Each structure stands twice: as structure tokens, then as C-alpha cells.
Structure 1
Amino acid sequence: MEADKGDRLVVHGRIVGEQDRVMEVVEVLGPPHSPPFRVRDERGHELIMVPGPDSQVERPGDRRPGA
């Protein structure tokens, strides 16, 4: 999985009814474009994570208007 600063990382809920978690990539800590990533969640908390198969990256140009 590749991401850059400013991309959004979407982690899909694993339980029926669980909301997706959306985080902003604030720093790439691995080799260029590679995990681990420092991310900031909707509440402003920052964490370092290596995304799993339940995650996807949204680049700023990929977003739908109003999303």
C-alpha cells in the first residue's frame, strides 16, 4: 500500500454496523510512499500504523465532491 502526506486512509469496519475510520496521513515513516504511516483521526489523535487488508488510500483528487 502506498500513500503520501495529505492522503486519507480509510479503515473499513470489520463488524456489521461498525463505521469506517477515516484518518489523514501526516507523515510517511517507511521507505518512500510505504508504511508505517503517522496518521491523525477525526478527533485529532495521532498514531502510527501499518494498514491491513481492510484499508484503502484515497488521494485528494479521488474524493467525490462533498465527501
Structure 2
Amino acid sequence: MKAHEGDVLRFTGRTVGAAEHHATVVQVLGEDGEPPYRVRYEDGHETEIFPGPGCVIETHPAHETSFGQPHRERQ
């Protein structure tokens, strides 16, 4: 899993009926986009995490899809 600052992590509920929640990556602490990440949840709470298998990254539109390439704004 690789992320950039500004990407959104979506966490699915672990039990039936549990709501999905989101967190925005505010800092990438690992190398080359790898975890851990410092994230900010919807309620403003910040923490460092290593995302698990129930997590999906929504890439910020300003980022390239491949790592190791310069980030450019999409037109």
C-alpha cells in the first residue's frame, strides 16, 4: 500500500451494519509512500496508523498513479 499526503483512506466496518469511516493522510512517515501514515479522521482526531486489509486508498486527483515519478496536476 502506498499513499501521498491528501489521499483519503476508507475503512470498511468489521461487523455487519458498521459504518465506513474515512481519514485523510496528512503525513507519510514511511519511505516511498509506504506506511505508517499520520491521518486525520472526520472528527479532527489525528493518529499514526498502519492500514490493514479493510482499508482502501482514494488517490487525490493531483497525484500521479505511479510512485517514483514527479507529481503533476492533472488537466
Q: TM-score range by the shorter chain?
A: 0.7 to 0.9
SS state of the match for residue 18, structure 2? coil
Give the TM-score normalised by structure 1: 0.87
Paired-residue identity, %: 44
1:17 is matched with 17
For structure 1, which runs of at least 5 residues remain unmatched after alignment?
62-67
2:72 is the counterpart of 1:52? no
Tell which has more relative contact order, 1 or 2 (C-alpha 8 A, sep 6+): 1
Deviation at 1:60, TM superposition (A): 2.3
For structure 2, which runs of at least 5 residues remain unmatched after alignment?
62-75
User: Runs of at least 4 residues of structure 1 off by over 2 A?
Assistant: none
Give the TM-score normalised by structure 2: 0.78
Q: Which has the larger radius of gyration?
A: 2
2:26 is the counterpart of 1:26? yes
Deviation at 1:32, TM superposition (A): 1.5
Per-residue deviation, residues 32-52 of structure 1 (Å, max 9, x unmatched):
200000000000000000000
SS state of the match for residue 16, structure 1? coil
Q: CA RMSD in A?
A: 0.7
